[in-house]
Amino acid sequence: MFEIFDHTADLGIRVRADDLSGLFEEAGRALFSVLLTNLDAVRPQERIELELETPDRADMLHDWLAELLYRFDAERFVAARFDVEIGGTGLKAVVHGEPIDPARHELDAEVKAVTYHGLKVEPDAAGWLAEVILDI
């Protein structure tokens, strides 16, 4: 589950999940729901494999979202599904999506960067909670 919240001139994402892998998968969906108005139009036709290494969970979330944003900006890739495994100090993921198709994908907010401001990843009563602010 994720929700989007306003933050000064930026936009925030708050994500909750039962486990860390689910938290990162939901964060990916949240990011692309900000980038596109119709996330359900994305077809999982291609896959990208990603690996990240960092011992800090908050830094890992930042790097994960920054990598997804890079793929969107540089490769014009939109994602529909995320299969994430987190273990030790690393993240392995398979991201399913396709190149942007202007006839089907409606772009929404322009996200310039994933920030460190207010960044958190922590356990809560229901599992895990994350918050991240996007520079728009």
Structure confidence by residue, pLDDT tens digits, 25-78: 999 999 999 999 999 999 999 999 999 999 999 999 999 999 999 999 999 999
Per the structure, the count of domains in the chain is 1
Q: What is the mean pLDDT of residues 121-129?
A: 94
In whole angstroms, what is the distance from residue 47 CA to residue 115 CA? 26
Give the 3-state secondary structure of residue 133: strand
Encode burial over 71-90: b for 16+ CB neighbours within 10 A, e otherwise: bbeeeebbbbebebebeeee
Residue 8 has pLDDT above 90, yes or no: no
pLDDT computed for residue 9 by the predictor: 67
Residue range of the domain that includes 86: 2-135
Structure tokens at 11: 């936009």
pLDDT at 4 (0 to 100) = 75
Distance in angstroms (rounded) separating the CA atoms of residues 42 and 36? 9
Whether this prediction's pTM lies above 0.85 is answered by yes
Do 100 and 38 contact (CB within 8 A), yes or no? no
Q: Do 13 and 81 meet the contact criterion of CB atoms below 8 Å apart?
A: no
For the cut 70, the answer to whether the pLDDT of residue 7 exceeds it is no
Residue 47 sits in a domain whose CATH number is 3.55.10.10
